[in-house]
Copies of this chain bind each other. A is one copy, B any other.
Amino acid sequence: MGVDDDSAGPTVRQHRETTALDLRSGAVRADARGGVQHTAQIDPTAVPPPPAAPEPTLPRTVEQHLDEILAAVPQPDAIELAVLDAQGLLCAEEVVSKRALPAYDQAALDGYAARSDDVARATPEAPVQLSVVGESTAGSADPSSIGPGLAQKVAAGALLPGGADVVVPAVWTDRGVVTVTVQAPVGPGGYVRRAGDDVASGTPAVAVGTPIGPAQISLLAAVGRERVLVRPRPRVGILSGGGELVDITTDPAPGQAVDVNSYALAAAARDAGADAYRSGIVPADPRRLSEVLESQTLRSDLVLISGTFADEGDAVREALGALGDVRFRPVTMYPGPVQAFGRIGREQVPVIIVPGEPVAALVAFEVFVRPAIRLMLGKRQLFRRTVQAIAAQPVYSPLGYRQYLHGQVMRHPDGGYVVEPLGDGDEAMLARMARANCLIVVDEDVTEVAAGGLVTVMPLLLGG
């Protein structure tokens, strides 16, 4: 397992210049993937390859870490679900209708089926009188037909009698029972729905990649589909680790902390569209710990662990290392300047490790986990929309780091948005986070935005 050092920087506020100096003192590589190009040609067979050097602990950008995760998450196989269970998921098949919709020529509204030859010239001044022969209600399957001078009373959706090519709306008649007086003209095809007008038999009704909502469920039911192939909800196993953690039922002693992350991350994963399985705090015993992790790889499409496993010898790091390749790396972001990702188990299940601090955990979820879940769901739009907003207060950020701050964004009466930052990025402020409705994103090269300046804001709408 490649395990890198956890060199958490400060949440800079008071001593910006000093920090900026310190942050720049490390060797920074702008693009870890494309950075070093060996242009000298070496015959690879002439000399033995050098022993693999431990990867240096160079900080990576948010994008680099995200790219690694998105490139590695699996695409779960499509599954067939009952249409109602498919709600919110993406269709994974082209649903070809075996039926025409509508299934037969029918009245588009309540009125009288007639022949256009008879009624095309009716007016209030020169009404046309027809003899009413029977009635066709929705659901009646008796085929009938009418000839010249005749009409049949029809309800919306009712089978059109043979010979009829128009429906005269009831309001344009005297609603007669034996004879009916038509007071307005209806041209050929008027108020008639032809079989197949909506969907012709043998043509696609729902395309691959269509999000399935109430209207799609309506259409699927209409073409006779009880079940449909969809991209499934990824199963996300959720664990938290750390010697300080106690369960929610336990009153924490000094130095201890309640496991809030397994709850919050399960809620966030479910909100993002996953089936979340909260396993709670990982066992302290190394063998039990390995068993729990391994069992997760058999049940999950993605394993999500929160915790600050700072030390090289940490039990969770050891257990993950025994199961696969999980790398802890500094990432140029606040909160959460150390993130980890890897794959474990025979199935090479991806594991995302987010910081143990609850605010940092939910920020990392937004930045790395939610896009991964949406990718697994097949969604085209992986990321939340951002808007530009006027900062109501100054916003600070360490140079070289992307800062995520919780805030309250609202519409400005004159148009656009205003955002009020809540706090300073401290990862322990849960009540502050709970009042937020957005994340303010301050880019790496910005250290300060004055009040009145524009900042990028990511509204945290639930659901969408």
Contact = CB atoms under 8 A, between A and B. Distances in A.
A87 B213 contact: no
A170 B8 contact: yes
Contact of A255 (B140, B265, B267, B428): B140
A270 B87 contact: yes
Interface in A88-114: 88, 99, 101-104, 106, 108-111
A225 B185 CA distance: 70
B155 A434 contact: no
Instruction: Say what secondary structure dominates the interface of chain A.
Output: loop
A434 B211 CA distance: 10
A10 interface: yes
A226 interface: yes
Contact of A358 (B9, B10, B222, B356): B222
A54 interface: no
Interface in A1-54: 6-11, 14-15, 18-19, 22-23
A186 B14 contact: yes
Interface string A408-432: 0000000000000000001111111
Interface string A190-209: 11010001110000011000
A135 to B, nearest CB: 11
Nearest to A206: B434
Size category of the A interface is 35 or more
Contact of A267 (B186, B213, B259): B213
So how many copies of this chain end up in the complex? 2
Among A10, A253, A461: residue with most chain B CB under 10 A: A10
Interface string A431-464: 1111010000000000000000000000011111
Interface of A: 6-11, 14-15, 18-19, 22-23, 83-84, 87-88, 99, 101-104, 106, 108-111, 124, 137-143, 155-159, 169-172, 183-187, 190-191, 193, 197-199, 205-206, 210-211, 213-222, 224-226, 242-245, 248-249, 251-261, 263-268, 270-271, 278, 308, 310, 356-358, 362, 365, 426-434, 436, 460-464
Q: Closest 7 A-B residue pairs measured CB to CB?
A: A139-B244, A463-B463, A10-B169, A141-B255, A218-B264, A139-B243, A221-B260
